[in-house]
Structure 1
Amino acid sequence: MSEPTPDRDQHVFHQHRRLLFSVAYRILGSAADAEDAVQDAWLKWSGADRARVADPKAYLARIVINLALERLRSARHQRETYVGPWLPEPILTCDDTADVVADAESVSMAMLVVLETLSPLERAVFVLREVFGFGHAEIAEVVERSEAAVRQAAHRAREHVRARRPRFAAAPARQREVTERFLAAATGGDVNALMELLSPEVTLWTDGGGKVRQARRPVVGATAVATWFAAVGTTAYEGIEPADMRAELVGLNGGPGLVFRGAGRVVATVTFDFDATGRVLAIHNVANPDKLGAVATGAVHDVGTR
């Protein structure tokens, strides 16, 4: 075996950096925390005896997952005392991510919300098994549990997710069409046009974190949600007049979404979940300024699993 060198070690790490971020983000639901976990993984990798590392990918995965789990456990209390609904931190994603349905689904806002209801161990096992295709034995080594315990956790997590996250087959083109129509209707204050796009059972979740004006409980029903968004085109928000607010259709969390900007900053993001007919079943609106940093940087993440 040849001796490791700093340049080679850095190259090996960067080979797997995208994978490490993809895993950490799905476990944490926070781009900032995922980036911190990846950076900490680099520090641990730099200080390790890499001559003894037979499989760098598995070794790095183990490091970043353990770091992510530590962060997730420490964040639990903060999320339990959060003001209003807690939503994941949105990220800009590659346009072609939506072409791979499994990748897009696993990083969607709706899926990340469901994953938040799992225990830290179940979440890590589900992400590694169902999203990245790790074997039970590999996962057992990574999370330092028995293979039997991993199989049980995988089963619990899979059943939990299936019960709360039924899959729909709305095509990416249909999703984009509805998102474009939603944007036009919302910015035009057209309640009737919005109603045509919404499922009668639609639910709007808004995350302001107690720092900006947002609903602290879910808004339920097509009429209430349409009225809420129609106000976007007619009412000032956080000191920004409607005429000074700009909305853009972008790739967010594996699908089409909206970014609202005003007064030189990102004000909010909006992502959609669709029912079997292509109508909007759920809307996730993130306005907490602490969660908009990843979008504000303009950095586009490739969170594919392959």
Structure 2
Amino acid sequence: MSHNSDQVKEAALFMQEHDRFLVLSHVNPDGDATGSALGVCLMLEKMGKEYIVVNEGETPAKFSFLPRFDLLRNLSEESLDDTFGAVIAVDCADESRMGDVRSLFASGAVLLNIDHHPTNDGFGTVNLIRTDAAATAEILYDVAIAAGVSFDEELALCVYTGLLTDTGGFRYSNTSPRVMEIASKLLHYGVKPGDVAERCLEEITFAHVKILRRALQTLTLSHQNLVASITVRPEDFVQENAAREDAGGLVNYCRNIEGVEVGVSFVESEPGVIKVSMRARDRVDVSAIAKHFGGGGHAKAAGCTMRGNLADVQSKVWQVLGEAVGVKVDE
């Protein structure tokens, strides 16, 4: 798809035609979701628009260096007695990923859906979905240009953060020449790549280390060692005084084991609610598995949230994974 496509222009026009917006990203937001949402806020400011930026749930503190982070409203902790006729959703793979924020939509609200997930179901009034983009932030870069919004250090920092995190520090296979071209341009506005990488990719909390120590004790190899799994239970969070975000990234330890095709983490942050994260090498499209269980994502990185008994959830996921890798869980 052309980077100056009609869909990009339509998205820019959506932002120009309305005056007051609700801006949101997905539940359990990552760097691309947060950077893109705050990037939209900065664009709206430059266009003289009003906005409120919200999420269902807490945004990880490691992204607090981003401009306008202090304006993010957590709807799981505070209520908002208002409704909005114009909504911009970024990085939401499907409508359900918006969570309960949908209660803030006015009757007949129009919604701009900007995303790069192949599992996106086109839930917006206006849909700008580019599955060839490495990150939603890459798409946002094009929208800013189409809207005539000038870049400065703040906007560049938000877009760069989305690119950096969704490409794994420019290490994943989605790191395209254009990603590097955009990142290079953003550095000219004063973005300090070492500082961003330190905050987003390197620095971890001590609580994360303690959760990791517990999780590694649960590491299981199955399906003829093609699948590696790790588990975190509610009591782990309690005993280590850790937050849900302290369990982020654990799935990568599974996927990175030599010979493993799919890594899986089962994080039960509260009883009966299990976040399943999956990372794949080459043979398995984990987005199809996540979609099967009501989630979504990319071919090599996807996830879903499942409810029920942990053992039952694991059994269901392992069974579908077995079909994908061609080996049963107990073989």
TM norm structure 1: 0.29
Structure with higher RCO (Cα < 8 A, 6+ apart): 1
Q: Return the structure number with greater helix share.
A: 1
What is the TM-score when the length of structure 2 is the normalising length?
A: 0.28
Structure with a larger share of its residues in strand: 2
